[in-house]
A and B are shown apart, each in its own frame.
Chain A
Amino acid sequence: DAGVIQSPRHEVTEMGQEVTLRCKPISGHNSLFWYRQTMMRGLELLIYFNNNVPIDDSGMPEDRFSAKMPNASFSTLKIQPSEPRDSAVYFCASSLQDTAQETQYFGPGTRLLVL
């Protein structure tokens, strides 16, 4: 398998612009996670889906952030409008099931810089 695929790998945008991050989980995995990583806040879970349904979005910072999973092989994380404080590395991860012992497989991440 190709692993978790994320695009774009790098994104530079200006404040106020819309940003869309994309993720393709490993085939057959039922759970998908979106994380944000910064030096200050570490690795934070933003939202996760199980069987394409959002289960927990308590980590989504504010209404500017939204995530969708229209099917088992695709998810998006959108930021509208973007702000400089959104600059971070955004990781998507997937796992076979929504249980604590399941390994989460991370994608390579999207490095976002908002100017």
Chain B
Amino acid sequence: GQSLEQPSEVTAVEGAIVQINCTYQTSGFYGLSWYQQHDGGAPTFLSYNALDGLEETGRFSSFLSRSDSYGYLLLQELQMKDSASYFCAGGSSNTGKLIFGQGTTLQVKP
């Protein structure tokens, strides 16, 4: 089987840094993706990690440790518009078949 675990909710203040963790259990592993979904909207791609280490894209960074079956999404300089749900997703084969975590709802407060 395959599963990805994330916290259900995270709250932070504007301008702060927040880290959203994701642990996974898979029979195989082909990278960890992160998607953002605003309330009522569609998921949109944020990042993909195939190898260990940190990938940075502007204010967002994503980290992967394959030995620990763990990854995280780091959001810096939080803005109100970052309030959304964030999903980690992984696959057990090198195909587009992704299993999504249950999502973490981030609330950014003034």
Residues of A within 8 A of B (CB): 31, 33, 42-45, 48, 50, 55-56, 91, 93, 95, 97-109
Q: Which chain A positions have C-beta within 8 A of B98?
A: 45, 100, 104
Q: Are A100 and B42 in contact (CB under 8 A)?
A: no
Q: Which chain A positions have C-beta within 8 A of B87?
A: 43
> With A106-B42, A108-B42 given, is the CB distance from A101 to B50 under 8 Å?
yes
Q: Are A91 and B42 in contact (CB under 8 A)?
A: yes
Q: Which chain B positions have C-beta within 8 A of A98?
A: 95-96
Q: Which chain B positions have C-beta within 8 A of A91?
A: 42-43
> With A33-B96, A107-B42 given, is the CB distance from A100 to B102 under 8 Å?
no
Tell me the number of A-to-B contacts counted with CB atoms below 8 Å: 62
| Cβ of B71 under 8 Å from chain A | no
> With A106-B42, A107-B42 given, is the CB distance from A101 to B31 under 8 Å?
yes
Q: Are B97 and A101 in contact (CB under 8 A)?
A: no
Cα separation A91 to B87 with both chains bound (whole Å): 15
Q: Known pairs A31-B96, A48-B97, A56-B97. 13 more at Cβ < 8 A? A: A42-B100, A43-B100, A44-B100, A45-B97, A45-B98, A55-B95, A93-B43, A97-B96, A98-B95, A100-B93, A100-B98, A106-B42, A106-B44
> With A42-B100, A42-B103, A43-B100 given, is the CB distance from A100 to B94 under 8 Å?
yes
9 contacts between A and B (CB under 8 A): A33-B96, A42-B103, A44-B100, A45-B97, A45-B99, A55-B97, A100-B50, A100-B94, A105-B45
The distance from the CB of A28 to the nearest CB of chain B, in whole angstroms, is 15
Q: Are A99 and B95 in contact (CB under 8 A)?
A: yes
Q: Are B42 and A102 in contact (CB under 8 A)?
A: no
Cα separation A50 to B107 with both chains bound (whole Å): 37
